[in-house]
Structure 1
Amino acid sequence: MPACAVAASFSHPVAAVEDLREQPLAVRLLSEDWVLWRDAHGTPHAAPDRCPHRGTRLSLGRVCQGELQCPYHGWRFAADGRCTQVPAVPGFVPPATHGLNTVALTPAHGLLWLRPDGGEPHLPAFPAEADHRLHKLNTVAYDVATSAPRIIENFLDMAHFSFVHEGWLGDAQHTEVPAYDVQVSAQHGVHATGCQAWQPQSNVAASGGAWVAYDYAVPAPGAAVLSKQPQGQQDWRESIALFICPVDEERSRVWFRLAVPPGAAADDELRAFQHTIFTQDQPVLESQQPRRLPLTDTVAREVHSSADRSSAAYRRYLRLISLQFGTC
């Protein structure tokens, strides 16, 4: 089975909704190149970024009246993939073999999601999306030189707070990770509840240190969600979702979606805080060897402690669903 076969049955984010405008957009997912474009009604579509005529990148072309036009010979393709025009032969009616294998794009969580195998959308749940009291916004995209599973595992890891994020999400006086509960299944992914961490500044609006209650969920191989409630704040649980496009086995594109109390801070401040936290993580992530997440001891032996319950559960989840892309 190809390494990407299981991964192709999930929907993955490939671009921010606002990134796809009037002209084609090139993206890469699971080591394959795709072209995105909008039809005359503004509906987004995707297809392999290769013209069936001479293999030219269609993303170098343009959109004409909602149809994708190849930059080489001007062949045009409709939203359903049909080749509608071969300019060099005006009377020619292109057969189905001259068309593209288009795939629908699904807008959700401020992103465009692509399921490579063409099945029904398989989107990760983000429960905070339905809470209309919370303000939602996305960060910029981050390009990271490591596998998507490595990034998810780091997101679940609380033991690094006191070292990588000292003065922000942890400090040297509170290194212990209290026990918490974890459940894992092939159908529902990973759920960690009862997590706690002492944080000097748990969010941009925090005025001092506090114990923070965390819950984590991994609803899909490349998505993770945390919801947290600082001590003394009973009215709100803010959430952060991590959504990853597995570009290649060892390259990823990352977005964060924040769901926070209204008026907590300006959007630029919220993004700046998240940028600080993730750019502390990024060099550590990119230093890990191997870059693919080891699921067995065959390639790379990694030892564990009881503080690693969530990451151990995540590795177990990937084995349960037989995911290979980005693992070893």
Structure 2
Amino acid sequence: MVEARFAHPVLDASALGAAPVAVRVLGDDFVLWRDDAGTPRAAPDRCPHRGTRLSLGRVCSGQIECPYHGWRFDGAGRCVHIPALPGFTPPASHGLATNTLSEAHGLLWLHLQDDAARPRFDAEADAALRKLNVGPYDVAASAPRIVENFLDLAHFGFVHEGWLGDRAHAQLADYRIEPTSCGFVASGCRAWQPQSNRLSSEGSWVDYRYELTSPYTAVLTKLPEKQGGYRDEIALFVCPVDEETSRVWFRMALTDHDSSDEQIRAFQHTIFTQDQPVLESQRPKRLPLGSGEVHCAADRSSAAYRRFLRDSGITFGVLP
């Protein structure tokens, strides 16, 4: 599966505490826990003994315990204890096939392959920018539908009227698409926005730059014309839960050091919850890469995204 070449966000890092947590990625179930050193661990959510969900169990001294017969597994997946046979040393065949779980951008990322690539977010290294996460949002839409919406400028004056756009400024200027090794960059984008961010007090033109950094991740840079020096870097991280359901986070990197976390989250929440009902209404729920939907010149970024998915061999959440 091509999608296994990419790491996928599954949980806020702070949300993994003393209890195991169940997550779902690409239609498969996994259990997350922390070992006795506090290191996050992951494995398929299925005990090899009788197929019980390990996420229904508990964590004991960093070992995950099955709720059915009490079998325990350490962070490396080895079965270390079978209560019914306390003197028995379980062989390797009784263990779990674990997955790497890494931490970045305030999230835990599941690696289905050892060499799975985690998408970059260059703004993370900029100490001048304030960072925080917004989400997660559970959305009844495929991951590609959500990413395509994030890359789309033409909906601002309708879905986000009075916020990111208005009907009187719906026309789009030409913008450029440049392929990259991991996706593409859309530059030269401009939009008239009544309120481009929480601190803006009047409408202005805003320069937009989009970068697709993996099949289910994109980064937006916003530079408002009337807020000299202001900059937003917003990463969209989408976990493809099932073919038609997703979990969404936004990683905000901002020059806004005046607003509270709650105020920033409330602004981004307003914007995304305007998008969400539209996304959940789309049919088909999976993004069609072939026929079935018509296009116009304003859909340049959408066309580039669909072409990238098709050329990359992505099949999860799309229709051929």
Superposition TM-score tier, normalisation by shorter sequence: over 0.9
- State the 4+ residue runs in structure 1 displaced beyond 4 angstroms: none
Match of 1:131 in 2: 126
Q: How far, CA to CA, are the matches of 2:24 and 2:16 in structure 1?
A: 14
1:86 partner letter? I
Cα offset, 1:43, TM superposition:
0.4
Q: How far, CA to CA, are the matches of 1:37 and 1:263 in structure 2?
A: 34
Match of 2:239 in 1: 245
Cα offset, 1:232, TM superposition:
3.7
Contact 1:228 1:239 in 2 (8 A): yes
Q: How far, CA to CA, are the matches of 1:213 and 1:67 in structure 2?
A: 50
1:164 partner letter? V
Match of 2:262 in 1: 268
Aligned sequence identity (%): 61
2:305 partner letter? Y
SS at match of 2:168: coil
Match of 1:70 in 2: 66
Match of 1:211 in 2: 205
TM-score in terms of structure 1 length? 0.95
Contact 1:238 1:261 in 2 (8 A): yes
Match of 1:39 in 2: 35
Contact 2:178 2:185 in 1 (8 A): yes
Cα offset, 1:9, TM superposition:
1.3
Q: Deviations over 1:274-314 (max 9, x none)?
A: 111011101100110000000111xxx11111111111000
Q: Counterparts in 2 of 1:77-96, with a 5 A limit?
A: 77-96=73-92
Find out whether 1:149 has 2:144 as its counterpart.
yes
Q: How far, CA to CA, are the matches of 2:310 and 2:156 in structure 1?
A: 27
Cα offset, 1:184, TM superposition:
2.5
1:42 partner letter? G
Find out whether 1:163 has 2:158 as its counterpart.
yes
Q: How far, CA to CA, are the matches of 1:171 and 1:82 in structure 2?
A: 58
Cα offset, 1:143, TM superposition:
0.6
Match of 1:30 in 2: 26
Q: How far, CA to CA, are the matches of 1:105 and 1:240 in structure 2?
A: 23
Find out whether 1:184 has 2:179 as its counterpart.
yes
Q: How far, CA to CA, are the matches of 2:85 and 2:182 in structure 1?
A: 53
Find out whether 1:303 has 2:299 as its counterpart.
no
Cα offset, 1:236, TM superposition:
3.7
Find out whether 1:292 has 2:283 as its counterpart.
no
2:275 partner letter? D
SS at match of 1:140: strand
Find out whether 1:201 has 2:195 as its counterpart.
yes
Q: Deviations over 1:13-53 (max 9, x none)?
A: 00000110011000011000100000111100100000000
- Runs (5+) with no aligned partner, structure 2: none
Q: How far, CA to CA, are the matches of 1:305 and 1:257 in structure 2?
A: 31
SS at match of 2:287: coil
Contact 1:106 1:121 in 2 (8 A): no
Cα offset, 1:121, TM superposition:
4.2
Q: Deviations over 1:166-200 (max 9, x none)?
A: 00000111000110000235x32021011100000
Cα offset, 1:269, TM superposition:
0.7
**Alignment coverage as a number of residue pairs:** 319
Contact 2:100 2:114 in 1 (8 A): no
Q: How far, CA to CA, are the matches of 1:264 and 1:163 in structure 2?
A: 29
Contact 1:133 1:262 in 2 (8 A): no
SS at match of 1:84: strand
Q: How far, CA to CA, are the matches of 1:275 and 1:238 in structure 2?
A: 15
Find out whether 1:318 has 2:304 as its counterpart.
no
Cα offset, 1:234, TM superposition:
4.1
Match of 2:108 in 1: 112
Q: How far, CA to CA, are the matches of 1:262 and 1:154 in structure 2?
A: 25
- Runs (5+) with no aligned partner, structure 1: none
Match of 2:7 in 1: 11
